[in-house]
Amino acid sequence: MTRVALVVGVSGVGKSYVIGRCAANAGLIHVQASDVLRQAKADLLARTVDREELRKGQVLDNQTLLSEAFGKLRARESRPIVFDAHNIIDTDDGYVEIPLEVFRLIDPYVVIALYGDPESILGHRSRDTSRVRPDRTCGQIAEYQALVIALAEKHARDLGVPLRLVGAGDEEAFARAILA
């Protein structure tokens, strides 16, 4: 079965950036949960679905569809997968935790939690005009990040896999965590 590394972190911490830089060099495939879900939902509804619709929609209901779509993708892929996901979704109505069962179906060999300076994260979020995110203060980003890391620790423990904490942009530490 194809190996999967699960990477989580707050929106704007730089998951896609560091994964993209390392995946190509290591022969890994970078899979974004939002892309898999968006395509699966578009296929189901026979129309285009954007990220904002996913974030504002029925987050928990979408997880079954995501798990099924990821299972199909995984069955077709022979290269190791780096699964770029959120364990907590930041919605306009607050935080929504993704249940352990979703990640159990993903079956990662490692959970990697990226963390960064809340001010830098806010800067990334404000410069990224391709996504709509709830307005958050530095303190709220710090709180969100602490929740993400605590849940990553719990999920890794419950899944029986190692947790690796990696600073935002630390490509060397990220590569070590992926290849461990």
At 74-98, the pLDDT tens digits run 999 999 999 999 999 988 888 999 9
Structural domain contains residue 88: yes
> Region 139-163: what's the mean pLDDT?
97
Q: Using 50, 70 and 90 to split pLDDT, how confident is the model at 63?
A: confident
| CATH code of the domain containing 97 | 3.40.50.300
Any long-range contacts for 18-21 (C-beta under 8 Å, 24+ apart)?
18/114, 18/166, 18/168, 18/169, 18/170, 18/171, 18/174, 19/82, 19/84, 19/174, 21/171
Specify if 73 maps to a domain: no
Q: Is the pTM here over 0.95, yes or no? A: no
Domain contains 125:
yes
- Residue 172, domain extent: 4-32+79-179
Does residue 148 belong to any structural domain of this protein? yes
Whether 55 maps to a domain, the answer reads: no
Task: Give tens-digit pLDDT for 3-28.
Answer: 999 999 999 999 999 998 888 778 89
| Count of domains observed in the chain | 1
- 64 part of a folded domain: no
